[in-house]
Amino acid sequence: MRGVIMHAPGDVTVEDREVPRVVEPTDAVLRVEAACICGSDLWPYRGVQPVEDQPMGHEYVGTVVEVGSAVRDVKVGDFVVGSFCVSDNSCEICTSGFPSRCVNGGFVGGTQAQYTRIPQADGTLVVVPGGKPEDPEVIASLLAASDVLGTGWFGAVAAQAGPGKTIAVVGDGAVGLSAVLAAKALGAERVIAFSRHEDRAALAREFGADVVVAERGDEGAAKVKELTGGLGAHGVVEAVGNQVSMDQAIASCRPGGHVGFVGVSHGVSLDGQSLFFAEVSLLGGPAPVRRFLPDLIDRILAREIDPGKVFTMRLPLEQAAEGYEAMDERRAIKVLLEV
């Protein structure tokens, strides 16, 4: 089969790789129908975190072609969406709502390929009712649910988005834009998005942002307070993962508010005294996407939400290197790879 390998920062190729097979009785092997490049894939691409000859990808939709002897809920021929985190969906941590930290879990990898092996198939994968959709736009939206939509949704839930609430979203990448969509879908009265890029700001508005703020850092937080009578937002989603974005998120939140941080943290530290006097609740980390997948799939199939619009470039798998370049240079919000 063909699959994407990142050999070193900036060095992405598509190569022949061995087709995966079932290893553990709880495994499933999928024929990947669509994959994509994640903003988190840019950290190693830019040399911010180490990488050496690594199969890439953790977002996927596909058709099951092989299952292990212990798999009961997923069968060959099913069209499925799975989380980027492996989970049995039955341990005490999973049943408390955090399958992303399953005691038997881990992380999915190597999905930018024609086939992929998914451990803990029954707990990680969700069967799409009615089989593979004919509409490629629906497939794109289901693909978004595998990570960025589920992650944005978790950020919005952690920020306590709901009726009567003002929610601010720091970050205008695919996760931040998905958080805007999620906050509005969850009933937030007003959604404030931060963006300096008109294409991203336009999509934020399409997803439900009522206000787009160009300022960042302390100026951005001041603007949110100006828009909220000096109080700050009821909840803030941090969807970048650096020091500026985290500080901005906390500063934009009112006392007693909630910050959902879902940007993969790089070089972030929190000052204890500042946090003490901010009096905000923090919840974040790898998103428990599996917890939300059944609801998100239903919303997508019912055409209530269309998160696939975050894919502003679509390329064949063989052109994955071009997709990485486009996202690195911000010429694309997110790239879908047609397998």
pLDDT at 20: 98
Asked if residue 258 lies in contact with residue 35, where contact means CB atoms within 8 angstroms, the answer is: no
C-alpha–C-alpha distance, residues 81 and 134, integer Å: 15
- Say what the pLDDT of residue 237 is: 98
Output the pTM of the full model: 0.96
3-state SS record for 134-161: CCHHHHHHHHHHCCHHHHHHHHHHHCCC
Question: Cα dist. 236→221, 267, 281 in Å?
Answer: 11, 20, 10
**In the block, residue with structure tokens 């960042």:** 216
pLDDT tens digits, 30-44: 999 999 999 999 999
The token pair that represents 28 in the structure block = 């499933």
pLDDT value at residue 96? 98
Tokens matching residue 118? 């998914």
pLDDT at 335: 98
Q: Strands 60-67 and 28-37: what pairing?
A: antiparallel
Measured CA to CA in angstroms, residue 50 lies from 6, 44, 187 at distances of 11, 6, 40
pLDDT at 214: 96
* Ranges under pLDDT 50 in the chain: none
Instruction: Identify the pLDDT of residue 14.
Output: 98
